[in-house]
Amino acid sequence: MIQEEEKSPMKFQRRTVLKLSAAALAAPAIIPGRLAANDPIIFGAVAPKTGPLAGGAAVTHWPNLQLWQTQVNAAGGIMVDGNAHPVEIIEYDDQTNPGETIRGVQRLATQDNAHFIITPYGTGLHIAAAPIFDRYGYPQVCVTAITDQGSELAGQFPNMFFTLGATTPFAGDVIRVLTAMRDAGQIGNRLAMVNVADAFGIELMAAGMPLAEAAGFELVYETSYPLGTQDLAPVINGVKDAAPDAFVAWSYPPDTFGLTEQAMIAGLEVGAYYTAVATSFPGFNARFEGAANNILGAGGVNPDLPSFQEYEAAHIEVTGQAPDYWASATTYGSLQVLQQSIEAVGLDREAVSAHIKEADFDTVLGPMHFRDNNFNQAYWTVGQWQDGVFRGVASQNRDGVAAARLKEGWA
Amino acid sequence: MDILITGLLLGGTYALIAMGLNLQYGIARIMNLANGEILVAGGFAAFWMYTAGQTSPYLTIFVLAPVAFAVNWLIYVVMLRPLVKRAKSRGQLEVDAILSTFGLSFVGVGLMLAAFGGDYFNYSYLATPVTIFGDNFGLNRIASFIAAAILCAALYLWLNRSRAGMSIRAIAVSPESARLVGIDVARLSAFAFALGGAVTAVGGALLSAYLTLDASTGVIFTLKALIIVIMGGVGDVRGTIVAALLLGVIETLVASLIDPGLTLAAAYALFILILLFRPRGLFGRGAA
């Protein structure tokens, strides 16, 4: 394994040298790092098109790359040294396999000579790819990576930036929303909490349980289920028997749907119902319609923000599907961050990373900066379907928070 | 009681997943690793018909079954028959079939990805509660359980009561001898494979009413089907039904009484136990 890792970059480098010398012979004017007028800027992208995370990436990740490329190129391209350069994106499928993610990034860096590489999809794949982004000196503006290890990672990989938030504030805000509902007399004290047995669910469960207990909630049911479980009747029946006032599931896409359908069928009576990833997908509301009303979920946006509305309309027009109401806009925002830094300092990747660390960015989500330890400190944490719109009901430093509503029945 | 019913309903789902593979592996002798992709394609057809024209999956299956039959028949005739002809032994055919259908499963994923994209496709159909003995169960699961029961009963009767069924069972026991008594093995094998594909696609259409599928989920179903078929005994419809129900009940028991995290462990423990004590499956015939 180690041998192979040491060997392959050498091989790639040799090929790169060959390729570069061939290119130099053919077009002696090319200087690495410099573009002729109208030459495209090459962006690499590695993310799941197949495998367990493909469904999520097809909603949140890939359409935004397409939208951003279309919009930037329609506007003429990215301005570097007074010339507009179109964006070209090279896409690889990592099959939701960290080994493939690493190989893809390596290939983009050494064979495709990508100027920049767009971050992968999913917490695990982000972390797997971080060392290789670092080795080749690419800035990595992460989106779908939610972890409390962010500051350690940023310390180890100084060009790694986080946009979507960290585990503890994420779990903390859910508990905060529930506490507010309890203190307002809307719900009681009994809480059921379940999680999908995957890095994301385990971390959130570990963060959420002590926070719930500290907030004075009584944990009446707590369990985990394996990733990919589609039959969630036993879990919901267990929850129902424990008669909780609030239900929280740190769940991933297929089980988010499965839990909710089962809760609907079993007639789970809770005043607050929360499922995590995919609750904010437009498909969730389309599937459950009225039953989705007042369901809490991970993420959220401010749907009244004009920049978001404009983004949403463009997303539907270009990709033929609506964005999700959480990480979609953040994915687009991460590309805006890259673009704005490139326009500010050019194609030098080190300069771009240094710029991202210091600058203020204007994104579809509103302003963003990474001066606090490479962390964007303004993000949405909890949203709720309210009459067909997924509204943010809790956030870290974002405006436009709506009040959370009581879940009343499944009709 | 609710555990038992939930388990039986899950077992019905599993029977739908595994029945087609049993026909394909037990009779046509093709270990079809692209089985899950056929299932997902069936699910997609139901999803598409439902979202485009509000057509019930229970009507879609009547169109889907002949189409899936034709497609699978083509797959067998074009791709698998040369392997059958070339194979000198059953072992060699198995290896060849596994390799080529493994490849086929990637082609299937790629085609579905190109055709429908990688997004989840799910819709809600018959997600209304039905009360049995004081507990609520999803009507869609009950309906698919009933459909599975009808399908299995029909297959069982057909295999055991009709002449064609008897010929097919003869092939399952011994393809060489079957040929000697005037059974057209090549034609009936293709028929069994196509029928298995049609059953799988119908199963996918019924499951899509309550499971969330995407283009690359097929492999999960292939694995489940494989376990059930081997547990039940290759080529025996009863075995598949019993194994599917057993697996459903045991998984639900473990999830409800011990921990949902242990369902997979319980499923594989059962698998190992059955292989240890009945290496040819629950209804498998004695040593060949």
More confident residue, B287 or A238: A238
* A73-120: pLDDT as tens digits: 999 999 998 889 999 999 999 988 899 999 999 999 999 999 999 999
Domain tally, chain A: 3
Q: Count the alpha carbons within 13 Å of B157 in the hemisphere toward its beta carbon.
A: 6
* Of the partner residues A58, A229, A266, the one whose CB lies closest to the CB of residue B118: A58
* Same structural domain, A327 and A346: yes
User: What does B86-101 look like in DSSP terms, one character per residue?
Assistant: H-SSHHHHHHHHHHHH
* Of the partner residues A230, A233, A287, the one whose CB lies closest to the CB of residue B123: A287
Please state which of the ranges A31-35, A186-190, A194-198, A290-294 shows the lowest mean pLDDT: A31-35
Please state which of the ranges A94-108, B190-204, B227-241 shows the lowest mean pLDDT: B227-241
* Same structural domain, A129 and A38: yes
Question: At a CB cut-off of 8 Å and minimum separation 6, what does A321 contact?
Answer: A59, A63, A282, A315, B119
Q: Count the alpha carbons within 13 Å of B175 in the hemisphere toward its beta carbon.
A: 15
The answer to whether residue A12 sits within a structural domain is yes
The answer to whether residue A334 sits within a structural domain is yes
Which domain CATH number covers A125?
3.40.50.2300
CB distance A142 to A160 below 8 Å: yes
The answer to whether residue A403 sits within a structural domain is no
Please give the average per-residue pLDDT across B56-69, as a whole number. 88
Give the residue from A407, A379, A406 showing the smallest Cα distance to A395: A379
Angle at A66 between CA A131 and CA A389, to 5 degrees: 100
- Give the pair of three-digit tokens for residue A61: 């990740």
**Sheet holding A218-226: strands in order across?**
A218-226, A190-197, A246-250, A272-275, A296-298, A379-386, A389-396
Ordered structural domains, chain B, with CATH: 2-277 (1.10.3470)
Q: What is the pLDDT of residue A247?
A: 95
Q: What is the pLDDT of residue B143?
A: 87
More confident residue, B119 or A366: A366
Q: What is the pLDDT of residue B51?
A: 82
Q: What is the distance in angstroms between the Cα of A97 and the nearest Cα belonging to chain B?
A: 13
Please give the average per-residue pLDDT across B103-108, as a whole number. 90
- Please report where in the chains the tokens 């690889």 appear, as a residue: A92
All residues of chain B having their beta carbon less than 8 Å from the beta carbon of residue A285 are: none
Name the β-bridge partners of A249.
A194, A275
* A294-309: pLDDT as tens digits: 999 998 888 888 889 9
* Same structural domain, A61 and A144: yes
More confident residue, B178 or A275: A275
Q: For chain A, how are helix, strand and coil distributed in percent, rounded to 5?
A: 45, 20, 35
- Residue A94's alpha-carbon distances to A57, A134, B205, B220, B277, in angstroms, are 11, 19, 29, 18, 41
pLDDT at residue B1 greater than cutoff 90: no
* Of the partner residues A55, A267, A281, the one whose CB lies closest to the CB of residue B214: A55
- Give the pair of three-digit tokens for residue A163: 């946009």
All residues of chain A having their beta carbon less than 8 Å from the beta carbon of residue B261 are: 197, 223-226
* Same structural domain, A173 and A294: yes
The answer to whether residue A245 sits within a structural domain is yes
Mean pLDDT of all residues belonging to chain A? 87
* Same structural domain, A293 and A178: yes
Q: What is the pLDDT of residue B136?
A: 80
Is A224 in CB contact (< 8 Å) with chain B?
Answer: yes
* B149-160: pLDDT as tens digits: 998 899 889 888
pLDDT at residue A370 greater than cutoff 50: yes
pLDDT at residue A132 greater than cutoff 90: yes
pLDDT at residue A33 greater than cutoff 70: no
Q: pLDDT band at residue B285, thresholds of 50, 70 and 90?
A: low
Q: What is the pLDDT of residue A28?
A: 40
* Rounded CA separation A213/A208 (Å): 9
* Same structural domain, A370 and A277: no
All residues of chain B having their beta carbon less than 8 Å from the beta carbon of residue A268 are: none
Share of chain A above pLDDT 90, in %: 54
* Same structural domain, A313 and A375: yes
Q: How many CB atoms lie within 10 A of CB B196?
A: 29
pLDDT at residue A121 greater than cutoff 80: yes
Q: What is the distance in angstroms between the Cα of B219 and the nearest Cα belonging to chain A?
A: 9
* Same structural domain, A17 and A69: no
Domain that holds residue A330: 33-166+306-380
The answer to whether residue A409 sits within a structural domain is no
* Same structural domain, A297 and A360: no
The answer to whether residue A311 sits within a structural domain is yes
Q: pLDDT band at residue A137, thresholds of 50, 70 and 90?
A: very high
* Same structural domain, A237 and A325: no
Is A282 in CB contact (< 8 Å) with chain B?
Answer: no
Question: At a CB cut-off of 8 Å and minimum separation 6, what does A217 contact?
Answer: A175, A178, A179, A182, A189, A190, A191, A246
Contact assignment for A234 to B6 by CB distance below 8 Å: yes
Contact assignment for B216 to A51 by CB distance below 8 Å: yes
Q: What is the pLDDT of residue A21?
A: 47
Q: What is the pLDDT of residue A331?
A: 94
Is A59 in CB contact (< 8 Å) with chain B?
Answer: yes
For testing contact with chain A, the best of B116, B124, B140 (most A CBs within 10 A): B124
Complex confidence, ipTM: 0.80
* Rounded CA separation B273/B255 (Å): 19
The answer to whether residue A57 sits within a structural domain is yes
* Of the partner residues A54, A231, A235, the one whose CB lies closest to the CB of residue B215: A54
* A316-363: pLDDT as tens digits: 999 988 999 999 999 999 999 999 999 999 899 999 999 999 999 998
Tell me which chain B residue has its CA closest to the CA of residue A319. B117
Q: What is the distance in angstroms between the Cα of A238 and the nearest Cα belonging to chain B?
A: 7
pLDDT at residue A18 greater than cutoff 60: no
Please state which of the ranges A38-52, A74-88, A183-197, B114-128 shows the lowest mean pLDDT: B114-128
* Same structural domain, A152 and A43: yes
The answer to whether residue A408 sits within a structural domain is no
Query: What b/e sequence results for A394-410 when a residue is b if at least 16 CB atoms lie within 10 Å of its CB, and e otherwise?
Result: bbbebebbbebbebeeb
Q: pLDDT band at residue B180, thresholds of 50, 70 and 90?
A: confident
* Same structural domain, A172 and A242: yes
